[in-house]
Structure 1
Amino acid sequence: MSIPTATPNSPVDNSIASRPGNIGAVPSLLAEIQQGIQDLDTSTDEPRKDLLVRCRALVQAIETPRENMVDHIWGQMGVISAVAFGVDCGLWVLMAQNGDQPQKVTNLAGDLGVDPELLRRLMRHICAMGLFIEVGEDEYRPTNYTKALRLPQIGHGYLGLASSTGGATLKFHEFSRQKGWENSTNQQDTALMSAYHTDKDMFTWVHDQGYGQHLNDYLGGYNLGRPRWMDPSVYPVQERLIKDADTGPDAVFLVDIGGNVGHDLERFHRRHPHAPGKLILQDLPMMIHQIRDLDPVIVRMECDFYDEQPVKGARAYYIHSTLHNWPDHLCDVILANIKAAMRPGYSKLLINENVVPATNAHWETTGLDMMMLTLFSSMQRTSAMWYDLIEKRAGLKIVKIWSGGKGVESVIECEIPWEE
């Protein structure tokens, strides 16, 4: 298949690359930003997100296409490279320990045991991208961003996800060309597998590269500051789950299916310490064995969600950001196993996933969809897709989709239909 190339008769003139994206929109965007600042409300995060979208639009309006391009392939890729270096060598931990005062490259390099010239180049670029505060030659003051890189939930994403799987994104076009430009839904044939010449899925690949714990840290904290599914603003746990739940000694309250190392169950237990019944964490042995610290109230259970669900009649079965990893035909198996274990009229299935809106999708949702596309040959689903998967294919009933807000996972509450 030939790839189209530009010709002298192409309708796009070269000068377009040097013109701002939409300079005429700048005055209205500035007015919207000013209004957005006035509308900021500490009780909800939505106005801040809207303001951020407007600020991004302002940058796009002022930047030329050429600047946009080099920002992507020089600036942003360079930042990812430099930040990952800092995570791996301990730069961000050291700077956080040093505090907020200005810090010299030579001192940092000496303490870390890295080449001062190498560190100088990396920190210079990070500063040029606005992520450091320059106070003198080769001397920088940390920002909230660089201090946050000290947190495993933030910094470790650069190793456990970006550097470990980035080839899938950068080589996705080659994978797609080989597949005839079709939308792949084969979990055994992904862009990640093609880029790295492996037959391993993403989780196994990252684990075997030595970054399994980094990925777990990222998964445990990528949604810091966002509402959790059990927050009253998202899902009314007391009304929908705790009320009328069995209180017997053997009753199971919540089963977290594919729950990684227990992040969600620990948060739930802290929020609702007196919820009746057992809390059970299920995942593959590879994940269960990586658990370092977990509240003993949470029962660990090695389990493959493609096998029969061993816990019958729980009040709720919870599955978070898992179905988006797999195409419909595999989700059919997962949902069928859960449905077979549910008690009609009592058990609920809570699917904590993004629901892509038909229009005006948030960039975090579409960005995550790109990850699913390149790493799993899967997708984020729209409301129509969820209804098709859950009701038409699995034979469950969606009681309600409880929205988590822009770019945040919703809670899809499901039950077995009464007629069954």
Structure 2
Amino acid sequence: MAKAIEIEEPVTVTVATATSPSNLAAVPQLIKELAEGVGCLESGCNEARQALVTQARSLVQALETPRETMIKHCWAQPAVFAAILCGNECGLWKLMAKNGDKPQKVKELACALGVDPVLLSAMGYLLEVGEDEYKPTSFSLSLSLPIMNGGYPALITMGGPSFINLHEYERSRNWKNPTDAKDSPLMHAHKTDLNYFDLAASRGYLEDFNNHMGGYRQGRLPWMAPEFVPVQEVLIKGADQSPDAVFMVDVGGCLGHDLLEFHRYHPTVPGKLIVQDLPQVVGSIIPSEENKALTPMAHNFFEEQPIKGARAYYLHSVLHDWPDDRAEVIVGRIKAAMRPGYSKLLINENVIPRTDAYWETSALDLVMLSQLSAQERTERDWRDLVEGRCGLAIVKIWSGGRGVESLIEYLFPIRANPVDYKLFQIAGYNQILLT
């Protein structure tokens, strides 16, 4: 199969380009912006911190030579992944965290773990205090948490081959955007007909994936916070007050992380909170005082939704796992269970802006493409999928700011006469189209 473009003219770029700073002219202005940004950190504003991180990365990129960037990509980053994964597997991060914030000798750590000392590599993520002696950092301490370390086997061990071999997959398919859930780059790389989730389960990485789902959202404003979405007005007001009513169904909700957080913010909502996922997932939820407010339910979201007429059906990072044809089936199953004019569909996902997309979102878009033949979506994509293909109406897109997933509120509109529609307009649902 031929490459997408054949370059016939000779390339005029010289080695000097690869060994000179990438953008030395930009350095003075970047340093000035960094200095100005430091003062904003005192406010505790997360957006100010994010802006400073972006500027710091830009400064490093401007100072680095292309040759140094290449070496970082080809040597350092793969080596970091290898070191972190080995540290996970042998228990290094948990042992160092248990030992506390003190200098720790490599030989003593290796002896306690039963590993060859030469295998313990710092790679810059531990603080060197002497020869073969290190102190943990906040990063290495965080790696002792399952919600932090789970992403490495779930996405690097499982997903790494998909990234590395993506060019081969694309070359063999004439450089077409993958949209077939049964023919993903991951399946091509692993030489399997299992999708990501089935493969993760077969290889023992499903728990790591579930932990990662609980971890990647940490440190960001949750949608149920009062300053994000006014839950009282949007959901609680007008909800069925019967104790047997279902208030919210978290479809594909993993271990119930989101519903637990919702309950912490709104402990007195009327009705039940139900978390649905595959049997092997909800079956691993251990009953506790914390999660007693949840009702686990085994359910495949491609099948008929058993809970009818709930106030809200909630999907967090579900539809981005699937191309449009499969996502349409998932939404269709929920729509069939919704009570017109009452039930709402809440989609908690990224809404990619037209320009200046945040780096986390852009990276995740490529993760979805390479692992699942899926994608992150723009507002137009969401309207085409859920409004155009599924017939639900967007009430509002609630944005949590840069790097935070939005909450898209959909309503199943009722068949109404003009008087009813006027009441909808007065209530604020002036974007709703009559069916």
Corresponding position of 2:301 = 305
Which moved further from structure 2: 37-46 or 26-35? 37-46
Matched residues in 1 for 2:44 and 2:406: separation? 19
Aligned positions of 1:16-415 closer than 5 A: 16-40=17-41, 42-119=43-120, 122-123=121-122, 126-127=123-124, 131-293=125-287, 295-415=291-411
Once the two structures are TM-superposed, the CA of residue 82 in structure 1 deviates from its matched residue by: 0.2
Measured against aligned partners, the alpha-carbon deviations of 1:160-182 in whole angstroms (never above 9, x if no partner) come to 22112211111111111111111
Distance 1:42 1:342, change over 3 A: farther
Once the two structures are aligned, what percentage of the paired residues are identical?
50
Q: Matches of 1:178 and 1:88 in 2, distance apart?
A: 35
- Is this contact kept in 1: 2:186–2:196, CA < 8 A? yes
Q: Is the 8 A contact 1:213 1:290 kept in 2?
A: no
Task: Note the alpha carbon deviations across 1:227-246, whole angstroms, 9 max, x for none.
Answer: 11211222111121111211
Query: Which deviates further from its counterpart, 175-184 or 331-340?
Result: 331-340
Query: Match of 2:82, SS?
Result: helix
In 2: Cα distance, 1:382 partner to 1:41 partner: 34
Shift of 1:9: 2.5
Q: Deviations over 1:108-139 (max 9, x none)?
A: 000000001222xx22xx12xxx221111111
Give, in whole Å, the separation in 2 of the partners of 1:214 and 1:292: 16
**TM-score normalised over the length of structure 2:** 0.92
For 1:41 and 1:275, the matched residues in 2 are separated by 36
Q: Secondary structure at the match of 2:262?
A: helix
Does residue 416 (structure 1) correspond to residue 417 (structure 2)? The answer is no
8 Å CA contact 1:86, 1:92 repeated in 2: yes
Matches of 1:390 and 1:356, distance apart in 2: 16
Partners of 2:166 and 2:370 within 8 A in 1: yes
TM-score, with length taken from structure 1: 0.95
One-letter amino acid matched to 1:369 = D
The answer to whether the 8 A contact 2:2-2:171 is kept is: no
One-letter amino acid of the structure 1 residue matched with residue 141 of structure 2: K
The CA distance in 2 between the partners of 1:357 and 1:250, in whole Å, is: 40
| Closer/same/farther in 2, CA of residues 293 and 11 from structure 1, 3 Å limit | farther
Deviation of residue 387 (structure 1)? 1.0
Displacement after TM superposition at 1:5 (Å): 7.8
Alignment deviations for residues 171-227 of structure 1 (CA, whole Å, 9 cap, x no partner) = 111111111111010000011111111111111111211122111111111111111
Deviation at 1:293, TM superposition (A): 4.1
Q: Report the alpha carbon displacement of residue 318 of structure 1 after superposing the two structures with TM.
A: 0.3
What is the Cα deviation at residue 40 of structure 1?
2.3
CA deviation after TM superposition for structure 1 residue 307, in Å: 1.4
Do the aligned residues in 2 keep the contact of 1:234 with 1:410 (CA within 8 Å)? no
Q: Is the 8 A contact 1:324 1:378 kept in 2?
A: yes
Contact in 2 for aligned 1:351/1:411 (Cα 8 Å): yes
Indicate if the aligned counterparts of 1:41 and 1:47 stay in contact, CA closer than 8 A.
no
Q: Following the alignment from structure 1 to structure 2, what is the Cα–Cα distance between the partners of residues 141 and 25?
A: 35
Structure 1 gaps, min length 5: none
Aligned residues: 413
C-alpha distance 342-33 of structure 1, shift in aligned 2 (>3 A) = same
Query: Where in structure 2 are there 5+ consecutive unaligned residues?
Result: 415-433
Note if contact 1:253-1:275 (Cα within 8 Å) is conserved in structure 2. yes
Greater Cα shift, 236-245 or 290-299: 290-299
CA distance in 1, matches of 2:85, 2:340: 49
Helix, strand or coil at the partner of 1:413: strand
Partner of 2:48: helix, strand, or coil? helix
Letter in 2 for 1:233: E
What SS does structure 2 have at the residue aligned with 1:319?
A: strand
**Is the contact made by 1:358 and 1:382 (CA closer than 8 Å) also made in structure 2?**
yes
Letter in 1 for 2:310: A
Q: What's the CA shift string for 1:309-337, capped at 9, x where partnerless?
A: 11111111100000001111111111111
Q: Which letter maps to 2:56?
A: C
The aligned amino acid for 2:306 is P
